[in-house]
Structure 1
Amino acid sequence: MLHADETFLGDVGDDAPIHDQRGAAVVADVDAENVHALARPRIVYGNSTGRSIPNCRARTIWFIFCRGFDSFRPMSLTGFAAGQVRQVASAWVKRRVLTQPATLTLARSDWAKSLTQPTEFYFECYRHFHQKLAPELRAHREYFRQPRGNPRGFGEDAFHVMWHALFQEFKPASYLEIGVYRGQTISLAALLGRMQGKPCEVCAISPFSSAGDAVSKYGAGVDYYADTLANFEHFKLPQPKLHRGYSTDADAVAFIRSRAWDVIYIDGNHDYEVALADWRVCSESVRPGGIVVLDDSGLTTSYRPPPFATGGHPGPSRVAQEIDRARFEEILQVGHNRVFQRRA
């Protein structure tokens, strides 16, 4: 749970500026002996505070950002300045994280740490991606990270590690995703099934349009349905079963309830009411022992994202807080993704 004296970094991923709730720029201040400090950046406020900045690079960031923010306030200038802060902070933090080796196997016996030390566990997953993950999976992530400025997918490197660990543990035969965008995660599910020698039937529900929600906007002019299928073809994967529509439509709900799923990933509309409706129907449709992964639900945990990651959104985070723990056990958290296993 967030407290009054803690920083909420919000959505500070690959395409978002770094701000706290008061609109201040964030500059990472890292203790060289404690990587966990990466999760607690120092907040730099407007120049009216008179606070000093410890090094030349930070002074430059301070000058660019605060001059634009305090004096002129044009959105384009502040957005540009925040973007520069983000790029500098993200690159530096990534280098710091990767100076240490990935030590965990990320088998289920390691997952308990993700619930008690979620930020440190996230860093371990990030290191695992760059130091240990199979080249085929890293290539998949890189494909969806491109082209620069208009990537085929969002997400974070650590999430590929999470899905690899889940498929290693559960070896699912069926996978359902709500909210596809352009197919990064559903194609990853198909790829993981192929790599493990146990094909996974991949299904998904999505409007395949630019329709968004209170926190997400998507570009028009893309045939999301055709693009998703083309991305599967790029990796020579079996075509998925795609249901075009909203997850709350009657026919979509009937499709979700048509079977007992091994894995369900909820990454659709992030408004609370819709996320709650998705959880309710999916929690009834996953088999006992199966798992539901809830995207963007990390705000009600102790996870503090580094500058290159995101903390989640209010709607899914509230849903996660309200999940009946008598029916579901939380078994894993990687960044803003939280994994719940249905009790037998």
Structure 2
Amino acid sequence: METLSHFTKNYQNTAENNDYIWGHFKDCVNNTPVLKNHRDYVEEKMAGFGDRSFHYMWYLLMQDLKTKQNEVSFLEIGVFKGQVISLWALLAKEFGLKADINGISPLEGNYPNNSFFRSYYVRKILSYIVPSIKRDFADGNIHIKEDFLGHIQKMFDNSNLDLNAINLIKGYSNDEKVVAQVQDKTFDIVYIDGDHSYKVCKEDIDNYAILIKPNGYLVMDDASNFNPGTKFFKGIVEVSRACEEIDPKVFKNILNVGHNRIYQKIG
């Protein structure tokens, strides 16, 4: 049986290795019904981004925690439509773990929900002429206004999960009042997938990575622009730049899966 350490103990950040892991993890998702069914729903309903490979990454991380403890705690920055928090809840149920799952997200879009802005090509054209749209387009920060809470509820309902069991915090991750709501907690995993500008991503790392328990994990989304590999989307340059400033004396980059980077806090 594969474990997280199977991939981390001899991991080398090479193109060959990164491409292999990305492809192998995707195959493992397709061969694991609980993962395949969840990801199939996400893709069918266009209810989330990221790669299929990431589901196996979360599976291995959850499996690793299971070998050490019976209670786990998670924090996601940037919930979007609930793909990751629902997968955490689903896997905790599969592994028989008691899970404290927390999510911070504005739960609202930042662009009008009309045919004009819904068009990718219109947004791309506007990105050449409007500085603010150019910045948001480059950073992946364009989100059309939708009923995000409704989408999250459907995601949980599809897997027979209770959304009321999740601590969902509505707000922006760099808002002091939002940070205060979790600052007394500690987490086994913090997943940062919020605002993709360098400034806010750096603030998220500074505000939330300190809450990770010794030997816990920091997972950064859209963070592999400076990593070798040819088969996967690399992410956002500004996020990748912020990750270059993560202190290697505090966090070790133990594995990269596509544009997700996994760091372990040094105990």
TM-score by length of 2: 0.82
Higher relative contact order (Cα pairs below 8 Å, separated by 6+ residues) = 2
8 Å CA contact retained: 2:11, 2:254:
no
- Name the stretch that deviates more: 106-115 or 205-214: 106-115
Q: Per-residue deviation at 1:229?
A: 2.3
Between Structure 1 and Structure 2, how many residues are aligned? 232
Find the counterpart in structure 2 of residue 63 from structure 1: none
Find the counterpart in structure 1 of residue 74 from structure 2: 175
Q: Secondary structure at the match of 1:242?
A: strand
Find the counterpart in structure 2 of residue 332 from structure 1: 255
Q: Secondary structure at the match of 2:262?
A: strand
**Structure 2 Cα separation of the partners of residues 311 and 106 of structure 1:** 25
Find the counterpart in structure 1 of residue 6 from structure 2: 109
**Structure 2 Cα separation of the partners of residues 200 and 219 of structure 1:** 31
Find the counterpart in structure 1 of residue 154 from structure 2: 230
Q: Per-residue deviation at 1:302?
A: 1.3
Q: Per-residue deviation at 1:270?
A: 0.4
Q: Larger Rg: 1 or 2? A: 1
Find the counterpart in structure 2 of residue 186 from structure 1: 85
Overall identity of the aligned pairs, in %: 32
Q: Per-residue deviation at 1:277?
A: 0.3
| Residues 1:218 and 2:143 are matched in the alignment | yes
Q: Per-residue deviation at 1:303?
A: 2.8
**Structure 2 Cα separation of the partners of residues 268 and 121 of structure 1:** 25
8 Å CA contact retained: 1:114, 1:333:
no
**Structure 2 Cα separation of the partners of residues 311 and 114 of structure 1:** 17
8 Å CA contact retained: 1:114, 1:334:
no
**Structure 2 Cα separation of the partners of residues 339 and 177 of structure 1:** 14
8 Å CA contact retained: 1:114, 1:122:
no
**Structure 2 Cα separation of the partners of residues 226 and 114 of structure 1:** 41
**Structure 2 Cα separation of the partners of residues 303 and 211 of structure 1:** 33
Q: Per-residue deviation at 1:201?
A: 1.5
**Structure 1 Cα separation of the partners of residues 3 and 65 of structure 2:** 13
Q: Per-residue deviation at 1:107?
A: 3.4
Deviation sequence 1:273-314 (CA, Å, 0-9, x none): 00000001112111111111000000111132x2xx411101
| Residues 1:203 and 2:73 are matched in the alignment | no
- Name the stretch that deviates more: 312-321 or 270-279: 312-321
Q: Per-residue deviation at 1:198?
A: 0.6
**Structure 2 Cα separation of the partners of residues 109 and 236 of structure 1:** 32
Q: Secondary structure at the match of 2:225?
A: helix
8 Å CA contact retained: 1:177, 1:265:
yes
Find the counterpart in structure 1 of residue 39 from structure 2: 141
Q: CA separation of 1:255/1:114 partners in 2, compared to 1, >3 Å: closer, same or farther?
A: farther
| Residues 1:161 and 2:56 are matched in the alignment | yes
**Structure 2 Cα separation of the partners of residues 114 and 336 of structure 1:** 15
Q: Per-residue deviation at 1:127?
A: 2.0
Whichever residue aligns with residue 299 of structure 1, its letter is N
Deviation sequence 1:160-190 (CA, Å, 0-9, x none): 0111011111236111100011000110000
Find the counterpart in structure 2 of residue 121 from structure 1: 21
Q: Secondary structure at the match of 2:98?
A: coil
| Residues 1:343 and 2:266 are matched in the alignment | yes
Q: Per-residue deviation at 1:233?
A: 2.3
Structure 1 residues 17-56: aligned runs within 5 Å: none
8 Å CA contact retained: 2:223, 2:259:
yes
| Residues 1:256 and 2:192 are matched in the alignment | no
**Structure 2 Cα separation of the partners of residues 155 and 287 of structure 1:** 26
**Structure 1 Cα separation of the partners of residues 167 and 158 of structure 2:** 17
Q: Secondary structure at the match of 2:26?
A: helix
Gaps of 5+ in 2: 112-135
Q: CA separation of 1:106/1:192 partners in 2, compared to 1, >3 Å: closer, same or farther?
A: same
Q: Per-residue deviation at 1:114?
A: 5.8
Deviation sequence 1:119-148 (CA, Å, 0-9, x none): 222121122222x32x1221010111113x
Whichever residue aligns with residue 25 of structure 2, its letter is C
Structure 1 residues 79-94: aligned runs within 5 Å: none
**Structure 1 Cα separation of the partners of residues 162 and 228 of structure 2:** 39
Q: Per-residue deviation at 1:259?
A: 0.7
Q: CA separation of 1:173/1:326 partners in 2, compared to 1, >3 Å: closer, same or farther?
A: same
Q: Per-residue deviation at 1:199?
A: 2.6
**Structure 1 Cα separation of the partners of residues 141 and 178 of structure 2:** 21
**Structure 1 Cα separation of the partners of residues 4 and 89 of structure 2:** 21
**Structure 2 Cα separation of the partners of residues 245 and 326 of structure 1:** 31
Whichever residue aligns with residue 311 of structure 1, its letter is K
